[in-house]
Structures are given as C-alpha cells and as structure tokens.
Amino acid sequence: MTVTTLSAAPPLPTATEKFRFYALWIAMAIVLVVLPQIFGSGASLTTFSLIGISAIFALSYNILLGQTGMLSFGHAVYYGLGGFMVIHAINIIGANKLSIPLPVVPLIGGLTGLLFAALLGWVSTQRSGTAFAMISLGVAELIASSALILRSFFGGEAGISANRTKLFRVFGWTFGPQIQIYYLVAAWTLIAVIAMYALTRTPLGRMCNAVRDNPERVQFVGYNPHVIRYLAFCFSGFFAGIAGALAAINFEIANSAYLGAVQSGTVLFAAYIGGIGFFIGPIVGAIVVTILSLGLSDLTQVWQLYFGLIFIAVVLFAPGGITGLLMMHRPLLRAGNLFKLLPSYLAALVATAAMIAGLILAIETIVHYTVNPGDDSHIKAFGVGFDAASPYIWATAAVLMIGGYLAARRTWTWVGHAWDNATHEAREKGIAA
C-alpha cells in the first residue's frame, strides 16, 4: 500500500495516547481498591456493591439499546435467571463440598444468562423496533409468572436462599463480611466493564452500531442483521447474568422480583438517564439511580413518583442523558469560554429550583390529602417540616411554581443565547464542529 493512501486513514494512537488509555484503566482499578479505605462504613460498602452490580447490568442493557438499537422491556429475565441459578449452584456446591470457590460462581450466572438469551433470542431478534420490544415484554411476563408457579426452582413468593460462606475457601476469604463482597463485586465490575468496552471495538461491535443506524443497508454490505442482533443479544444476556449472580451473592437470596417488570424498568431507566449514546453513560446512570433509590426513599413517601418525573425530564430535555449533557460542554471547555455561561446558568438554575420546590410542596400536600388524610397535617418531606393544611403553604407552592416556571422560561432562553455565542466563538477558534 502506498504512503499517500494510508495518509487518508485516521492516525494510529501515539505512545502517549496508549499510555493514557491504559493509565485510565489502572487508575480505575486503584480507585476501586482504595475506595473502602476512605468510605469504610457498612452502608457505603453496600451502596458501592449495588452500584457495581447495577453498572454491569445497565452496560449489558446498553449493548442492546445504545449499541444495537434494540429496546427491551424484559432484560431482567437474564439477570434474574442468572441470580436463581447461582443460588442453586451455591447450595449444590456447598452440599457436595465441591472445590469451586465463590469468586468464579458469577460465571455460572453469566453462562445461564447466555444460555437463555441464546434460546429465547433467536426469534425475538428477527426484527428490531416494536416487534422486538413486544416480544421482550411477552417473554418477561412469561418467565416472571412462571417464577411464581414453578415453586421447586423459583421458591414461590419467598424465593430461595443460600449461604455464600460455606464454599471452598481461597486465601481464607469467607465472603461473610461486606468488605469481601465489595471486592468480589469490584473485581467482576472491572472485568465486565473492560470486556464490554473491548466488545465495542471489534468488527461485531461496529456492525452492531451499523445495524442500529440502518439495518437495511447492512444487508447490502454482506452482513445478516439478524445474526448481528442475535449475537449482541447473547452477549447482553451473558453480562446481565453476571450482574444477577452478583446480586444474588450479595443478598444471599433470589426471588421473583429479580425477574420482574420493575427490575427491567429500572435498568432501562438507569441506562437512559446516564446516556445511551456513550459507553460510560450507563455507569453514570447506575451510580445516580442507585444513590437516588437508596436516598429518596428515606426522604419522601412517594419517591417512585419523583423517579418518574426525573425520567420524563431527561427524555424531554436531555435525550443524551447526564453524560450527553456533560459532553456537550466539552468543546466550550477546550475553547476556554465555558465560564461565560455561568451567570445565565446560575439564574436559570435558581428559577428552576424555585419551580421544583413549589412542585414538591404541591405534590407532598396532595399526597397528604389523598394518601393519609387522617394524619397530622404537619408533615416532613426531604427533611423539611411544614403544615400541609396551611393556606400560606398552598400560596407559597403556587407562587413558586408559577413564578418559577415563568422565570425559568425566560432564563433558559438566556442560557440559549449565551450558548450560541460561546459555540460561535469556539467555532471561530476551530474547536466546535
């Protein structure tokens, strides 16, 4: 090949870029190792473990939605079956004193997810879009309802449990304390994240993106889009199974909730809120959603309602998710004029916060009158006590909502103008496209 021809190709990564790339992964590993030294409480270790599990699950979901363009409403099937199989595996291994240590057990969950994805996926991946979404929903309902009927395997309402400490031990680790579970989850999270990232950079990974964009054209460059979707589905099922296995190990129990529609909805929520267009999006989403679901439930009775409102807000105003919002600012950061947005952002955020405060007051007041009308009207939400019966509170809610809305509408247009000016500047410096 001539030199002129290859000059058209994108430059190969330099040694510095390669070093930076690997340094990033090593830094991530170091962070995972030292994190418990900084936040060592049982509650934070549990939170970190749940975030890790949720991150693997959300990334596996994004192999479907973000990478291949398949909207699934039943991804919890592969997560849940992985979890159930692992609980059974732990019981069998423990009872027969097999020399299989706990750290390799998540692989059983992964293979279970892979097996069921391979069995159930061939038909559903014939088409993407509505047909795929509907089939995924049907399969999920089928499996979730059989979980309540097939008691011998799924244990009915109560589920099945296992004792994770009874397995063959390596280095004297019992996996009783949460810190050991944290390290188990952290190690698997790192492995799974690296594997799923690597997958995006293979011929199959790129053809997944092509199928997402235009399955018709894929057929005319020699590929069968059905096979690509099927393989993506199998990979996705494998990693979902690993996540489910880690969850089952963490809780030492698997029940029908693992397979249910709520679990499938939560993973969609996490992936979308984080941003399905970016590899790290679902990780960001997993962190946010896990912290929100643990935190919000202490602060308000109707936390699921707020979850829903957040989801609607992201779909409407930030379809790129949190990661998309952050990445939008990158050209401005590089052009060095991001600070010019700050005044308008500050004004818009104050107005929006006022509107949200009014909305929360109104919601909590309505909840008081509809859900617990007999209770004392002095209620507490988000740590703030107020009298839901007081007309002053109603008036404040109305003023904040209406005033906040009007102010927000005005101030967000300022942000828009500031944005346009800043982007224009960046473009003149040759940075933004």
Partner 1 sequence: MSAAIELRGVEKSFGDVAIIRNINLTVAQGERHALIGPNGAGKSTTFNLISGYMAPSSGSVLLRGEVISGLPPYQINRRGLSRSFQVTNVFANLSVWENLRCAVLWATGQRYSFWKNIDNLPEVRSRTAMILEDINLTARRDVPAGLLTYAEQRALEIGITIAGGAGIILLDEPSAGMSVAEAARAVALIRKVSEGRTLIMIEHDMGVVFDLADRISVLVYGQIIASDIPAQIKQDRSVQTAYLGTAA
Selected from 35, 133, 137, 204, the binder of partner 1 by CB under 8 A is 204
DSSP 161-194: E--GGGSBPSTT--S-SHHHHHHHHHHHHHHHHH
What is the distance, to the nearest Å, from the Cα of residue 394 to the centroid of all Cα atoms in its chain? Answer: 36
For residue 311, how many other CB atoms are within 10 A of its CB?
16
Least distance (Å) between residue 227 CB and partner 1: 6
CB closer to partner 1 out of 146 and 219: 219
Structure tokens of 146?
């059989």
213 binds partner 1 (CB under 8 A): yes
Nearer to partner 1 among residue 223 and residue 345 (C-beta): 223
Residues in 299-338 that interact with partner 1 by CB under 8 A: none
Q: Which is nearer to partner 1, 77 or 207 (CB)?
A: 207
Are 287 and 322 in contact, with CB atoms under 8 Å apart? no
CB of 233 to partner 1, least distance (A): 13
Out of 15, 37, 130, 222, the only residue in the binding site for partner 1 (CB under 8 A) is: 222
Residue 362 as a binder of partner 1 (CB under 8 A): the answer is no
- Tell which one of 216, 317, 385, 392 touches partner 1 (CB under 8 A): 216
CA distance 15 to 384: 54
Task: Choose which of 18, 151, 169, 206 interacts with partner 1 (CB under 8 A).
Answer: 206
Does 12 bind partner 1 (CB under 8 A)? Our answer is yes
**Which stretch in 228-236, 345-353, 355-363, 421-429 sits in contact with partner 1 by CB under 8 A?**
228-236
Instruction: Identify residue 119 by its one-letter amino acid code.
Output: L
- Nearest-angstrom CA–CA distance, 43 and 23: 30
Least distance in Å: CB of 63 to partner 1? Answer: 11
Q: 63 or 85, CB closer to partner 1?
A: 63
Nearer CB in complex with partner 1: 218/351: 218
Asked whether the beta carbons of 85 and 255 are under 8 A apart, the reply is no
Q: Backbone phi, then psi, for 85, in 5-degree steps?
A: -65, -35
In the bound state with partner 1, the residue whose beta carbon lies nearer, of 203 and 374, is: 203
Compute CA distances 375 → 296, 298, 381, 388, whole Å.
Answer: 22, 19, 14, 11
Q: What are phi and psi of 215, to 5 degrees?
A: -60, -30
Chain-centroid distance of CA 160 in Å reads 26
Residue 373 phi, psi dihedral angles, 5° rounding: -65, -25
CA atoms of 251 and 244, how far apart (whole Å): 11
Nearer to partner 1 (CB atom), residue 8 or residue 38: 8
- Exactly one of 41, 145, 163, 224 binds partner 1 (CB under 8 A); that residue is 224
- φ/ψ of 168, rounded to 5, equals -50, 130
Span from 29-37, 199-207, 318-326, 420-428 in contact with partner 1 (CB under 8 A):
199-207
Q: Does 201 bind partner 1 (CB under 8 A)?
A: yes
Kindly state whether residue 191 participates in binding partner 1, applying the rule CB under 8 A. no
Rounded CA gap, 78 and 397, in Å?
A: 44
State the nearest-atom distance from the C-beta of 353 to partner 1, in Å. Answer: 34
Binding stretches for partner 1 (CB under 8 A): 1, 4-10, 12-13, 198-199, 201-207, 209-210, 212-214, 216-224, 227-228, 231, 235, 433
